[in-house]
């Protein structure tokens, strides 16, 4: 693979790992997949976890009830601090059957058919963002003008959140996925998001039924009917907002960057627009979002590749390990929109398979297609080696992406 | 034989930072005949000997804003800026490699966005520019001077419009974080910014004329010129 050689491989590995070039996975992930498929890792919080990197192992662990997502208790292993894995009742932090009960309420809004319904809204918001870019000084920073503001705008529209309520809290969303120096900052951000979520829910309480046709509206109705608790309502609504925003910022930036770096494939998409979904799929495979994944916890001793994962141990599944697993992807280091394999493992596996997978694919396809149709001469305004990636974020994203185009 | 440079700190506090000689930021600028490859190599070689640590900063795509403001189409302006940056990068890399610090100490205003402190200060500078007339005026003064240096018909002529100044000022804004807190950006306890002539944008920071962006108490500024020449207070605009 075209990755830099791995040095300093003393165990446990210390996370975060140095990244590969241009938003590619840390070479340590490939090294661990090959040599230590169940690899001890020291998290920034000081907790030790097992990192699994092979696609088959990840699929098995994520579907295995002996590994729990319920970390909403004091003293649970955390990546950095008290992030959204500490929020009780959130769909992210529940195991079946509680998880299934809540997922059933919001799932109808994330099916393929439901996703189709959102296409006009998303297209309109993408075009609005492109209008802003067109009016910005050229050259422009694509992160500031497009990748960062677009996902919150889309999340607000799809979750029926008043954009005025959202504005002040975007920074707290980002802190949820940051390797902040001080865990107290993480706790403060989690508290701020909880307060913000209450405001949103309160603002929706008097909505008539016909205005509740969205995930937060459905959760509110379910709560009123006694199907879910107040914690489940607040925790899940807050999680849907955080993940609906933060998970899309990275591919909104890495996608255009990687397509610009693969001009032939970009030209293929332009010639044959049916390829745009393939481009979005390959970006999702190639970049995923983060590196390590948030911890699960073993409910009993489990043996894997000769290692005993003890009851109470934290386990992190590395989706980039799966989507770059040479056992399943031909030449995974090659960005190739024409490949046959899809990006499914990027969305996880088992009961927590990403509920927003269809939506993410739809949004990114529209965003890439509209961006490059509107700006057919778009090019990087700097050499690729100058583009800095955010080493503070657990997500892989450039901090700035200067572009220019012919006017 | 190694070239020596003469250092003239702006103020007494700058002189104290120079006495410590812990860290220097060497600013190089594009379209400036002073920065010949030989001069760049000599300057970096000398600074690597004179300071415990150095970092070299060259401008990035923001240089193109001056050309865009002068009426040059953006795509063409960016390509010209990229070519000019390469001309500085090559000798700077070579000098950093041979003088010891290594090429990881070469930065551009784009690559510096990978550093949290630089990003924070850039946001602060941009917000301050919108809010505070003193900072805006200082940036516009730099922008106007840069615009005058663009060759051709475009910039002789009439005073620049507010729109032209707003575009060209983006170059100054990218530079401001380095002038305000190089120690914070590079993780040093003090730092001296070196340039071959006076940097007007440092003045409102040193005098306290702006409070839109604070000056790190351990940041200094000095004019560094080849020891055989006297310090320059004028020259080709940056």
Q: What is the pLDDT of residues A314-363, one digit of tens each?
A: 999 999 999 999 999 999 999 999 999 999 999 999 999 999 999 999 99
Regarding predicted confidence, which is higher, A118 or A291?
A: A118
* Cα B139 from Cα B142, distance rounded (Å): 5
Instruction: Say if the Cβ atoms of B75 and A137 lie within 8 Å.
Output: no
Tokens of A163: 């954009």
- Report yes or no: B82 at the A interface, CB cutoff 8 Å: yes
Provide mean pLDDT across the span B10-38: 96
Query: Chain A residue closest to B123 (CA)?
Result: A144
Q: Confirm or reject contact between B16 and chain A (CB < 8 A).
A: no
pLDDT of residue B153: 53
pLDDT at residue A194 is higher than 50:
yes
Complex ipTM:
0.92
Mean pLDDT computed over A231-259:
93
What is the band of B52 on the pLDDT scale with cuts at 50, 70, 90?
very high
pLDDT per residue over A23-62, tens digit each? Answer: 999 999 999 999 999 999 999 999 999 999 999 999 999 9
Phi/psi zone of residue A187: left (φ > 0), alpha (ψ -120 to 50 degrees), beta? alpha
d(CA A272, CA B36): 48
Average pLDDT over residues A294-305: 96
Write out pLDDT tens, residues B185-225: 999 999 999 999 999 999 999 999 999 999 999 999 999 99
Burial tier of A231 (Cβ tally within 10 Å: 0-12, 13-18, 19+): middle
When pLDDT is averaged across residues B2-24 and rounded to a whole number, the result is 95
**Which one of B58, B61, B72, B90 makes the best mutation probe of the A interface by having the most chain A beta carbons within 10 Å?**
B61
Mean of all residue pLDDT scores within chain B = 92
Please give the pLDDT value at position A2. Answer: 44
Domain positions in chain A are 8-404
Strand partners, A52: A38, A317
Q: Is B109 on the interface with A (CB under 8 A)?
A: no
pLDDT at residue B235 in the model: 37
The pLDDT-based confidence of B234 (bands split at 50, 70, 90) is very low
Q: What is the average pLDDT value for chain A, to the nearest integer?
A: 92
Rounded to an integer, the average pLDDT of B13-17 is 96
Per-residue pLDDT, A62: 96
Among B60, B65, B114, whose Cβ lies nearest the Cβ of A399? B114
pLDDT attached to residue B66: 95
User: What top-level class would CATH report for the domain A8-404?
Assistant: mainly alpha
pLDDT tens by residue, B133-167: 999 999 999 999 999 888 765 545 678 999 999 99
The pLDDT of residue A393: 84
CB spacing of A386 vs B75 below 8 angstroms: no
Q: Considering only CA atoms, which of A198, A143, A213 is closest in space to residue A389?
A: A143
Residue of higher predicted confidence among B3 and B114? B114
Burial A357-367 (b: 16+ CB within 10 A, else e): bbbbbbbbbbb
The residue among A276, A248, A185, A295 whose CA lies nearest residue A397 is: A248
């Amino acid at each position: 693979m075209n990755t830099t050689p791995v040095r300093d491989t003393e165990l446990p590995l210390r996370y975060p790992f140095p990244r590969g070039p241009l938003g590619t996975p840390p070479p340590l992930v490939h090294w661990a997949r090959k040599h230590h498929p169940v690899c001890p890792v020291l998290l920034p919080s000081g907790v030790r976890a097992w990192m699994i990197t092979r696609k088959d192992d990840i699929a098995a662990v994520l579907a295995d009830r002996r590994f729990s997502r319920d970390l909403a208790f004091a003293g649970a292993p955390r990546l950095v601090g008290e992030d959204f894995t500490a929020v009780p009742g959130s769909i992210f932090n529940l195991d079946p059957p509680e998880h299934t009960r809540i997922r059933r309420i919001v799932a109808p809004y994330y099916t393929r058919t439901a996703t189709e319904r959102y296409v006009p809204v998303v297209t309109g918001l993408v075009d609005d963002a492109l209008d802003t870019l067109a009016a910005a000084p050229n050259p422009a920073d694509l992160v500031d003008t497009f990748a960062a503001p677009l996902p919150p705008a889309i999340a607000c529209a799809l979750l029926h959140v008043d954009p005025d309520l959202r504005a002040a809290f975007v920074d707290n969303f980002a802190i949820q996925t940051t390797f902040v120096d001080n865990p107290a900052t993480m706790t403060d951000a989690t508290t701020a998001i909880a307060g913000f979520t209450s405001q949103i829910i309160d603002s929706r309480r008097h909505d008539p039924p016909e205005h509740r046709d969205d995930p937060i509206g459905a959760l509110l109705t379910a709560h009123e009917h006694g199907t879910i608790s107040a914690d489940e309502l607040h925790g899940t609504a807050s999680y849907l907002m955080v993940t609906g925003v933060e998970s899309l910022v990275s591919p909104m930036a890495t996608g255009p960057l990687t397509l610009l770096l693969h001009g032939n494939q970009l030209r293929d998409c332009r010639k044959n627009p049916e390829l745009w979904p393939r481009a979005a799929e390959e970006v999702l495979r190639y970049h995923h979002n983060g590196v390590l994944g948030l911890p699960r916890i073993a409910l009993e001793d489990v043996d894997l590749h000769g290692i005993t994962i003890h009851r109470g141990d934290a386990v992190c599944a590395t989706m980039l390990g799966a989507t770059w697993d040479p056992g399943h992807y031909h030449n995974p280091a090659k960005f190739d929109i024409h490949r046959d394999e899809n990006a499914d493992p990027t969305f996880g596996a088992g009961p927590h398979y990403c509920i927003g997978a269809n939506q993410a694919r739809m949004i990114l396809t529209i965003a890439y297609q509209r961006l490059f149709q509107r700006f057919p001469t778009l090019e990087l305004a700097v050499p690729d080696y100058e583009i800095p990636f955010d080493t503070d974020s657990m997500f892989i994203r450039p901090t700035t992406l200067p572009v220019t185009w012919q006017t | 034989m190694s070239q020596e440079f003469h250092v003239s700190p702006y103020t007494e506090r700058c002189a104290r930072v120079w006495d410590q000689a812990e860290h220097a930021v060497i600013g190089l600028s594009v379209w400036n005949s002073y920065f010949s490859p030989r001069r760049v190599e000599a300057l970096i070689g000398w600074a690597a000997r004179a300071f415990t640590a150095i970092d070299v900063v060259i401008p990035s795509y923001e240089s193109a804003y001056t050309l865009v403001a002068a009426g040059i189409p953006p795509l063409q302006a960016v390509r010209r800026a990229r070519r000019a940056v390469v001309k500085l990068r090559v000798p700077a890399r070579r000098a950093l490699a041979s003088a010891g610090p290594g090429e990881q100490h070469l930065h551009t205003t784009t690559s510096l966005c990978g550093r949290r402190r630089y990003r924070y200060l850039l946001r602060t500078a941009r917000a301050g520019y919108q809010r505070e007339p003193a900072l805006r005026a200082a940036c516009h003064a730099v922008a106007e001077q840069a615009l005058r240096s663009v060759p051709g018909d475009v910039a002789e002529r009439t005073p620049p419009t507010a729109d032209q100044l707003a575009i060209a000022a983006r170059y100054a804004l990218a530079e401001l974080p380095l002038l305000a807190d190089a120690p914070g950006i590079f993780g040093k306890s003090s730092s001296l910014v070196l340039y071959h002539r006076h940097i007007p944008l440092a003045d409102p920071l040193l005098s306290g004329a702006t409070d839109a962006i604070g000056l790190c108490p351990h940041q200094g500024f000095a004019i560094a010129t080849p020891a055989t020449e006297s310090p320059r207070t004028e020259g080709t605009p940056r």
